[in-house]
Amino acid sequence: MRRWRKNGSDDLHFESKGLMDSVEVADFPIRDHKVILFLRRRRWIDTRTGKSFSLPLQIDITASSTRYSKEFGSFLKETYGDSPVPCRALEEFYHVNGRSFEKQYKEALSGYRSWDQLSHAQKWLLFEDNIGRNIAMDETSLSNGELYTIVTNRDKHGREGCLVAIVAGTRSLDVCKVLDKIDEKKREEVDGGTLDLSDSMRKIVRHCLPKARRVIERFHIQKLAGDAVLQMRIEHRWSALQQANDGKENAELEKTAYQPLTFENGDTRSELLARSRYLLFKSSEKWTDEQKLGAKILFREYPDIKKAYGLSHSLRMIFAKNTVKDAARLSLAKWYNKVAEAGFHSFNVIAATFYEHYDDILNFYINRSTNAAAESFNAKIKLFRANLRGVVDKSFFLFRLAKLYAYPH
Nearest to 384 by CA among 370, 396, 401: 401
Which amino acid, one-letter code, is at 38? F
Cα distances (Å, whole numbers) of residue 210 to 122, 124, 202:
27, 22, 11
Cα distances (Å, whole numbers) of residue 136 to 190, 238, 406:
11, 39, 15
The answer for residues whose C-beta is within 8 angstroms of residue 18's C-beta and 6 or more apart is 42, 43
Q: Are 96 and 76 in contact (CB under 8 A)?
A: yes
- Give the alpha-carbon dihedral of 219, 224, 225, 228, to 10 degrees: 150
- Tens-digit pLDDT profile for residues 235-245: 999 999 999 99
Q: Is the pLDDT at 139 greater than 80, yes or no?
A: yes
Cα distances (Å, whole numbers) of residue 299 to 115, 126, 262, 291, 409:
60, 52, 16, 12, 55
**Burial (CB count within 10 angstroms: exposed 0-12, middle 13-18, buried 19+), residue 75:** middle
- Tens-digit pLDDT profile for residues 282-305: 888 899 999 999 999 999 999 999
- pLDDT at position 1 is 42
Q: Is the pLDDT at 48 greater than 70, yes or no?
A: yes
Q: What percent of the chain has pLDDT over 70?
A: 96
Query: Which whole number is the average pLDDT over 223-251?
Result: 92
- pLDDT at position 9 is 45
- Does residue 406 sit in helix, strand or coil? coil
Assign 3-state DSSP to the chain and report helix, strand, coil percentages, each to 5. Answer: 55, 15, 30
- Tens-digit pLDDT profile for residues 319-361: 888 678 888 888 888 999 999 999 999 999 888 888 888 888 8
Which amino acid, one-letter code, is at 268? T
**Burial (CB count within 10 angstroms: exposed 0-12, middle 13-18, buried 19+), residue 383:** exposed
- pLDDT at position 322 is 66
- pLDDT at position 2 is 43
Distance in angstroms (rounded) separating the CA atoms of residues 270 and 395: 48
Alpha helices in 217-286 (DSSP H): 218-254, 269-275
Query: Which whole number is the average pLDDT over 73-98?
Result: 86
Mean pLDDT of the chain: 87
Distance in angstroms (rounded) separating the CA atoms of residues 267 and 275: 9
Instruction: Report how far apart the first and last C-alpha atoms of the chain are (Å, whole number).
Output: 47
Distance in angstroms (rounded) separating the CA atoms of residues 62 and 221: 56
- pLDDT at position 231 is 93
- Tens-digit pLDDT profile for residues 104-136: 889 888 889 999 999 999 999 999 999 999 999
- In the chain, what is the greatest distance between 2 CA atoms, to the nearest angstrom? 115
- Give the alpha-carbon dihedral of 234, 239, 243, 244, to 10 degrees: 10
Say which residue, 142 or 242, is predicted with more confidence.
242
- Does residue 108 sit in helix, strand or coil? helix
Distance in angstroms (rounded) separating the CA atoms of residues 107 and 348: 57
Q: Are 149 and 137 in contact (CB under 8 A)?
A: yes
Out of 16-20, 182-186, 266-270, least confident range: 16-20
Distance in angstroms (rounded) separating the CA atoms of residues 289 and 139: 39
The answer for residues whose C-beta is within 8 angstroms of residue 293's C-beta and 6 or more apart is 264, 265
Query: Which whole number is the average pLDDT over 142-157?
Result: 89
Residue-wise burial string across 179-210, b where 16 or more C-beta atoms lie within 10 A, e elsewhere: beebeeeebeebebbbbbbbebbbebbeebbe
Distance in angstroms (rounded) separating the CA atoms of residues 333 and 160: 42
Q: Is the pLDDT at 165 greater than 90, yes or no?
A: yes
